[in-house]
Structure 1
Amino acid sequence: MDIEQLQAFLHVANSKSFTRAAEKMNVVQSTITTRIQMLERHIGKDLFKRDKRNIGLTSAGRSFLPYAERIVDLSREGMKVTQLEQTFHDQLVIGTTHALWDYVIFAAIDDFQKSNSQISVRMITEHSSFIIRKMIDGLIDLGIVFYPAYHSNIESIPIIEDTYELVATPTFHLPDFPLTSKDLRTLPYIHLNWGGSFSDWIQQVFGNHYIFQLEVDHVSLLLKFLESNQGVGFLPHSIAKRLIETGEIISIPFMSDTPLPKRIIYMVNRKRNNNIDHLEQLISCIQRSF
Structure 2
Amino acid sequence: MDVTLARTFLAVVETGSFMEAANHVHVTQSTVSMRIKTLEEQLGQSLFDRSKAGASLTAVGRRFQRHALSMVRVWEQARIEVALPPGYQSALTVGGQFSLWDGFLLKWLALSRTDAPEIAIRTQIGFSDALMQRLIEGNLDLAIIYTPQSRPGFRIEKLFEEELVLVSSAPQTTEPPGPNYIYIDWGPEFQADHSQFFPEISIPGIYMELGSLGLKYLLENPASGYFPHRLAKPLLDQGRLQLVEGAPRFNYPAYAVYPKDSEQNALAKILPPLRQAAGET
TM over 0.5: yes
> 1:1-290 to 2 correspondence within 5 Å?
28=13, 76=79, 80-81=83-84, 84=85, 87-169=87-169, 172-173=170-171, 182-184=175-177, 186-207=178-199, 210-244=202-236, 247=238, 249-256=240-247, 259-273=248-262, 274-290=265-281
Q: Say if 1:112 and 1:78 are closer, same or farther in 2 by CA, change over 3 A.
A: closer
CA distance in 2, matches of 1:183, 1:277: 44
SS in 1 for 2:250: coil
SS in 2 for 1:93: strand
Question: What is the RMSD of the two structures over their aligned residues, measured on CA atoms?
Answer: 4.2
User: What is the TM-score when the length of structure 1 is the normalising length?
Assistant: 0.63
SS in 2 for 1:163: strand
Alignment partner, residue 58 of structure 1: none
Q: CA deviation at 1:161?
A: 2.5
SS in 1 for 2:139: coil
Q: Say if 1:73 and 1:267 are closer, same or farther in 2 by CA, change over 3 A.
A: farther
Q: CA deviation at 1:232?
A: 0.8
Q: Say if 1:3 and 1:228 are closer, same or farther in 2 by CA, change over 3 A.
A: same
Is the Cα–Cα contact under 8 Å of residues 99 and 186 in structure 2 kept in the other structure?
A: no
Letter in 1 for 2:102: D
Is the Cα–Cα contact under 8 Å of residues 116 and 270 in structure 2 kept in the other structure?
A: no
Is the Cα–Cα contact under 8 Å of residues 98 and 125 in structure 1 kept in the other structure?
A: yes
Q: Say if 1:213 and 1:284 are closer, same or farther in 2 by CA, change over 3 A.
A: closer
Give the % identical residues.
21
Write out per-residue CA displacement over residues 188-238 of structure 1, whole angstroms, 9 at most, x where no aligned residue. Answer: 111113234432332233326722111111112212332343011111223
User: What is the TM-score when the length of structure 2 is the normalising length?
Assistant: 0.65
Q: Say if 1:265 and 1:142 are closer, same or farther in 2 by CA, change over 3 A.
A: same
Letter in 2 for 1:95: G
Q: Say if 1:227 and 1:268 are closer, same or farther in 2 by CA, change over 3 A.
A: same
Larger Rg, first or second structure (1 or 2)? 2
